[in-house]
C-alpha cells in the first residue's frame, strides 16, 4: 500500500520543526480556529442540557474507541507505573506527550478501572471545540473537555473552572507539548500552562509518557499502526520553598527530565534531536 502523501507532508514538517527547534508549531493542515465566546461553553456542566450531552457523548466516544480497538486500528499493548497514578488521592494534573487523536483515550482507558464514578477532564485547543462538525465535534464539546480560548472572558471562566475541578479532587489531562505531532516518539520541551495550573491549586503533576512500536498491521494511510505502552511516571509535587514562577519552571523541568528518562529506557537509545 502506498503511503499517504498527506501524512508524508506532515512528517516532513515535523522533521523541519525538530531541526529548527520549533517545538510548538502546528503540522496538521487545520483551518484557523473559530473564537470560543464565554456564553458558548459550560465548563463545570452546570446546565441540565450539558449533563445530558456529556452522558451521551461519553457513551458514544467509548463505543467509537472500543470499536477501533476491536478492529485492531488502535492498539494499547500495556500499562506501566500505575502505582504512581494511584499514589495521588486528590486532584492532579496529568501530562502526556501528544502524537495522535487517540492518545487521550489511551490514558483514560488505563486509569478508568481505578476512577470509581469520577471522569477524566481534558484540556483541548480552541479549534477542536469550535471547528469540528458532528459527530466528532459533539465528542470534542461534551466529553468532559476544557477548551482554551483566545477570548479573555472565556479564559477567565476556564481558569476558574480549573481551580474548582482540582480543588474538588478531579484529574485533568493536559498536553503541554501543545501541538499534536503525528507518531512523534521523542519528548518535547513543555509549555508552562499545566504547571501553572498545578502550582496555583497546590496539586501534583503526574507525567504520562506513551511509547510506541510498529505493529504488523498497516493502516489506511500506508503506515504501520502503532502499539502503545502507557507509562505513568512518579508524581511531581510543587516545592513550597520556591516562588510561583520558579515552581512552575521547576515542575516543567522535572516533567521533561522524567519523559526523557522514560524515552531512553523505553526505546533503549539516548535522546538526540535532529540538527
168-213, pLDDT tens digit by residue? 999 999 999 999 999 999 999 999 999 999 999 999 999 999 999 9
- Output the 3-class SS for 59-120: HHHHHHHHHHHHCCCCEEEEEECHHHHHCCCCCEEEEECCCCCCHHHHHHHHHHHHCCCCCE
Q: How far apart are the first and last CA of the chain?
A: 31
For 213, the grid coordinates are 512500536
Segment 203-258, tens digit of pLDDT: 999 999 999 999 999 999 999 999 999 999 999 999 999 999 999 999 999 999 99
Give pLDDT, residue 133: 81
Q: Label residue 38 by pLDDT band (50, 70, 90).
A: very high
Helix (H, G, I), strand (E, B) or coil at 254: helix
Q: Taking residues 83-108, what's their average pLDDT?
A: 98
Helix (H) or strand (E) holding 172: strand 171-174
Distance CA 77, CA 71 (A): 14
Mean pLDDT for all residues in the chain: 97
For 266, the grid coordinates are 523505553
Residue 143 has pLDDT above 80, yes or no: yes
Q: Label residue 119 by pLDDT band (50, 70, 90).
A: very high
Q: Label residue 40 by pLDDT band (50, 70, 90).
A: very high
Residues whose CB falls within 8 Å of the CB of residue 202, separated by 6 or more in sequence, listed in order: 238
Q: Label residue 135 by pLDDT band (50, 70, 90).
A: confident
Residue 78 has pLDDT above 90, yes or no: yes
Give pLDDT, residue 136: 82
Domain ranges of the chain: 40-267
The torsion defined by the Cα of 187, 192, 196 and 198, in degrees rounded to 10, comes to 0
Tell me the pTM.
Answer: 0.95
The fraction of the chain above a pLDDT of 70, given in percent, is 100
Which class in CATH covers the domain with range 40-267?
Answer: alpha beta
Q: Taking residues 144-167, what's their average pLDDT?
A: 98
Amino acid at each position: 500500500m502506498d503511503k499517504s502523501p498527506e501524512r508524508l507532508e506532515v512528517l516532513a514538517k515535523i522533521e523541519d520543526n525538530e531541526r529548527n527547534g520549533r517545538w510548538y508549531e502546528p503540522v496538521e493542515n487545520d483551518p484557523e480556529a473559530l473564537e470560543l465566546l464565554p456564553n458558548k461553553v459550560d465548563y463545570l456542566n452546570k446546565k441540565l442540557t450539558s449533563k445530558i450531552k456529556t452522558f451521551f457523548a461519553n457513551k458514544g466516544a467509548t463505543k467509537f474507541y472500543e470499536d477501533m480497538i476491536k478492529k485492531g486500528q488502535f492498539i494499547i499493548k500495556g500499562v506501566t507505573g500505575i502505582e504512581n497514578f494511584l499514589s495521588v488521592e486528590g486532584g492532579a494534573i496529568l501530562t502526556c506527550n501528544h502524537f495522535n487523536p487517540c492518545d487521550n483515550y489511551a490514558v483514560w482507558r488505563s486509569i478508568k478501572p481505578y476512577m470509581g464514578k469520577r471522569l477524566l477532564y481534558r484540556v483541548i485547543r480552541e479549534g477542536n471545540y469550535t471547528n469540528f462538525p458532528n459527530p466528532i465535534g459533539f465528542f470534542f464539546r461534551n466529553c468532559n473537555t476544557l477548551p482554551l480560548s483566545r477570548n479573555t472572558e472565556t479564559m477567565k471562566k476556564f481558569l476558574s473552572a480549573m481551580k474548582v475541578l482540582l480543588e474538588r479532587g478531579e484529574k485533568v489531562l493536559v498536553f503541554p507539548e501543545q501541538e499534536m505531532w503525528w507518531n512523534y516518539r521523542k519528548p518535547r520541551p513543555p509549555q508552562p500552562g499545566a504547571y501553572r495550573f498545578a502550582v496555583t491549586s497546590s496539586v501534583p503533576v503526574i507525567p504520562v509518557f506513551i511509547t510506541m512500536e510498529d505493529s504488523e498491521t498497516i493502516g489506511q494511510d500506508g503506515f504501520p499502526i502503532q502499539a502503545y505502552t502507557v507509562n505513568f511516571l512518579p508524581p511531581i509535587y510543587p516545592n513550597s520553598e520556591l516562588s510561583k514562577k520558579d515552581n512552575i519552571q521547576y515542575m516543567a523541568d522535572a516533567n521533561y527530565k522524567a519523559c526523557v528518562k522514560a524515552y531512553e529506557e523505553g526505546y533503549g537509545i539516548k535522546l538526540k534531536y535532529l540538527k
